[in-house]
Amino acid sequence: MGLLIFIRNKMYDWKLASSVGFDVPVISVGNITAGGTGKTPHIEYLIELFSSNYKVATLSRGYRRMTKGFIIADTHSTARTIGDEPFQFHSKYPQTIVSVAEERMTAIPSLLQLRPDVQLVLLDDAFQHRSVIADIHILLTDYKRLYTRDYILPFGLLRESKSGAKRAQIIVITKCPENMSLDEKKNLINEINPTQNQTVYFSYIQYKPLYPLSVNQTQINEQTNVLLVTGIANASYLINHLEKQFPFVHHLPFQDHHYFTINDIEEIIETFQNIDSQNKIIVTTEKDAARLMLFQDKILSSKLPFYAQPIGVQFLFDEQTSFQNQLIHLVEKYYPSIDDLEVDFELIQ
């Protein structure tokens, strides 16, 4: 696999394979590592950053969806039809145009034709899709699993050679501890060894208040017991967070992007009922909630307290403004304000 990707990348490097650019700004968010690096909350961060001034569209593969081809999300979309992550975008940001397709290069023209109001495209997990020219590549790497310390599949988790990271203009080390020191920051930048055209940022997970998925709620306090239900690549960060908040956290894990069955729902209910406490709740991620709520009637009829744990990202070392400005300036090049335009009146006359 690694050899095939190496050959394909070289074909693009040597201009033996062609890439296509578009008339709207395209920002790609991805990684070179298999598994979770925090793409979803970073995409959501960008949606929130740009949505007040631009019509934003997301384009994802729609991993493990039960449909094929290019689809724009609508009121009938579910996690089954567009995938759990795009459905999360669609549910949380209804003004954002959410689309899915296997082939990004052919999907973007279809998107722009059907929705000519699109002003910015966010490519989700597209770092390896070199057939599309992105204006900027944001490469994410997990603080605990830096790509610099990894190996190509199947010996490690790298999708391609470490040298592929040089294609990124921005590298974000994600899931950092909030109290990271300046010395560690310097050491990590030295390890990444960015080029002159690359900027390295550091982000951490921001855990937001739980919100209910079911009608039945309970009074949550420091004595509440938690059944955590996940189907994500790496639940360790969430487990650590919840264990700091609650005295007992029982984790019921499923495969990443797992589509829950009625038997799974019954297992969740039985496991919850077997927890020896009257003060207890069920917690899941927003991504898992998109798939769990395909059985909304069963969950509601169970009258059990299901909650979702939303997350966001924040940037360390007061570099949030720098990160935002780097991207805003890129997009503004496509849409200069009247004050920025230099008009040659002699040519007009």
pTM: 0.92
CA–CA dist 228, 301 (Å, integer): 20
pLDDT in tens, 283-323: 999 999 999 999 999 988 888 999 999 999 999 999 999 99
Closest CA to 194 of 252, 137, 128: 137
pLDDT of residue 338: 46
Average pLDDT over residues 18-32: 92
DSSP 162: G
Residue 57: exposure state from Cβ atoms within 10 A (0-12, 13-18, ≥19): buried
Please report the domains of the chain, with CATH numbers, ordered by start residue. 2-54+119-206+313-339 (3.40.50), 211-309 (3.40.50)
Taking a C-beta distance cutoff of 8 angstroms, is the pair 332, 136 a contact?
A: no
CA–CA dist 295, 83 (Å, integer): 16
- The alpha carbons of the chain give a radius of gyration, in whole angstroms, of 22
Task: Say whether pLDDT at 1 is over 90.
Answer: no
Structure token pair of residue 162? 């470490």
CA–CA dist 144, 185 (Å, integer): 14
CA–CA dist 51, 95 (Å, integer): 8
CA–CA dist 174, 204 (Å, integer): 6
pLDDT in tens, 230-260: 999 899 999 999 999 999 999 999 999 999 9
pLDDT of residue 347: 44
Please state the φ and ψ torsions of residue 245, each to the nearest 5 degrees.
Answer: -100, -30
Structure token pair of residue 225? 């017991």
CA–CA dist 17, 93 (Å, integer): 36
- Residue 160, sorted as left (phi over 0), alpha (psi -120 to 50) or beta, turns out to be beta
